[in-house]
Amino acid sequence: MGKKISINAGNALLLNEQSEVLSEYGSIKVNAGNILASRKAYDKLISMGASLNSGNMSILDISGDIVELAGRTVITADMSFDGCYIICDGKLVVEDANGLLGITGLYAKELLHPQSVDLSAIKGITALKRTAYPDDAKLHLGDMTLSDDSHIVLTGGLYWVSGEITALDEEALMKLQSKGTSFQCRKLIIYSSLYEKYNNMLKANSYLFIPDEHAVVSDITLDAATSVLHGKKLYVLGDLMIPHNRTEHLNSFSSLIVKGTVTMPVTAAEDFKACGKADDYELYEGVLLSINGKDTIGHSQLQSALEKGIVYTLDINGIVTFLDDITADDVEAIAAINCNGKIYASGNARGVLDSKIRRMNGIITDLEQDKKLEDKADQEDKDSVTINAGTYRL
């Protein structure tokens, strides 16, 4: 059958149709979130029996030399790519269409340009997203936070922000307004009262209004210092984690709003409801034990927990091996299991563990049986090559 190669990547750029790198392999698999391929490279790989798996695939009819541009590149009038095919695996800004005259084609994940720039004469443009912004605007790619020093780095005029703007500092808004500065953005995060005062200078496609007097944080874990540092009213833009032994700190808040998920013990639900609300809830029983990577759990650990009156909710992101000395009684120390990975278990524990699974994205298997399968696979794939990369280029 010949050698095997498996390529796993976030982005796979398969553009070099002349490459003989893969010709020695009898089996080719490409798994990627995005695949960008030239027509010739694609046809060659398919003729070799390659398997291409992707959430998004773009096949391009490329002619001429390929020029790869980094994301956030700005095309100006003095540039020349005559006879070239432009690839930009990110945001490409075209300030002047004259910089693209003579190209054989263009691909970009996102193409941005002033509204007055006419690209109709440029043939072969492929863009997953195209955005036109006002001619008189200063373009800012990404997110922006308007803080107390923004008036120093930002001049007057209109700023068009491709991401979101966080505007929670009134003093900064006052200074920017006095300079005649205004903004347009994809999303605006702002206090309700500030928007009433400054809506003439802040426009957005969508808005997130924060109740007044609330401190704003991203992901956070509740502890004794949380209310001391942020006050009794807190707005969490991300997720809130409440450990089982810190639930009493909920009583320090008069308002607690979570835009993401609040993870907390079942016993804390009443206290949380008294002061807060969240978009999503993840409740657990007893002690939440998070396992990231590899770990083992055996008889002595679970028996010790039972003697202390502790039960665990296991949050597994990786691999956990339950040792052979575990009994069915020991498993009573486990209230529930959420697994994103693999659980090894056999003998007495296997059947009881199945009843504890609340969420499974993976498998439960016998260690010895799995070892035999792995040994067999290793023998079959001894000539295989695996490549794992954020971006793979051919």
Is 381 domain-assigned? no
Work out the mean pLDDT of the chain and round it to a whole number. Answer: 90
CB under 8 A, 24+ apart: contacts of 52-58: 53/29, 54/12, 54/30, 56/128, 58/34, 58/107, 58/126, 58/128
Is 198 domain-assigned? yes
Residues 129 and 78 in one domain: yes
CB burial string 327-358: b at 16+ within 10 A, e below: eeebbebbbbbbbebbbbbbebbbebbeebee
DSSP 8-state secondary structure symbol assigned to residue 100? G
pLDDT value of position 24? 76
Residues 117 and 189 in one domain: no
| Model confidence pLDDT, tens digit, residues 43-81 | 888 888 889 999 888 898 888 899 999 999 999 999 999
pTM, full prediction: 0.79
Is 168 domain-assigned? yes
Tell whether the model's pLDDT for residue 297 goes beyond 70. Answer: yes
The pair of structure tokens assigned to 67 is 């020029």
| Model confidence pLDDT, tens digit, residues 8-44 | 988 888 888 776 777 778 888 999 888 888 888 888 8
The pair of structure tokens assigned to 201 is 């200078």
Structural domains in the chain (count): 5
pLDDT value of position 373? 57
Give the number of other Cβ atoms within 10 Å of residue 240's Cβ: 24
pLDDT value of position 389? 78
Domain finish residue from 235, 258, 284: 284
Domain with 238, as residue range(s), is 215-284
pLDDT value of position 56? 87
**Sign of the dihedral defined by the CA atoms of residues 128, 134, 140, 145, in that order:** negative
| Model confidence pLDDT, tens digit, residues 127-184 | 989 999 999 999 999 999 999 888 888 999 999 999 999 999 999 999 999 999 999 9
- Residue 265: band (very low, low, confident or very high) from pLDDT cuts 50, 70, 90: very high
Cα separation, 268 vs 255, whole angstroms: 15
Q: Which residue in 391, 380, 394, 340 sits closest to 8, CA to CA?
A: 391
pLDDT value of position 212? 96
Cβ–Cβ under 8 Å, residues 94 and 100: yes
Residues 8 and 80 in one domain: no
Is 384 domain-assigned? no
| Model confidence pLDDT, tens digit, residues 310-327 | 999 999 999 998 888 888
Residues 94 and 157 in one domain: no
Q: Is 183 exposed, middle or buried (0-12, 13-18, 19+ CB in 10 A)?
A: buried
Domain finish residue from 103, 133, 163: 133
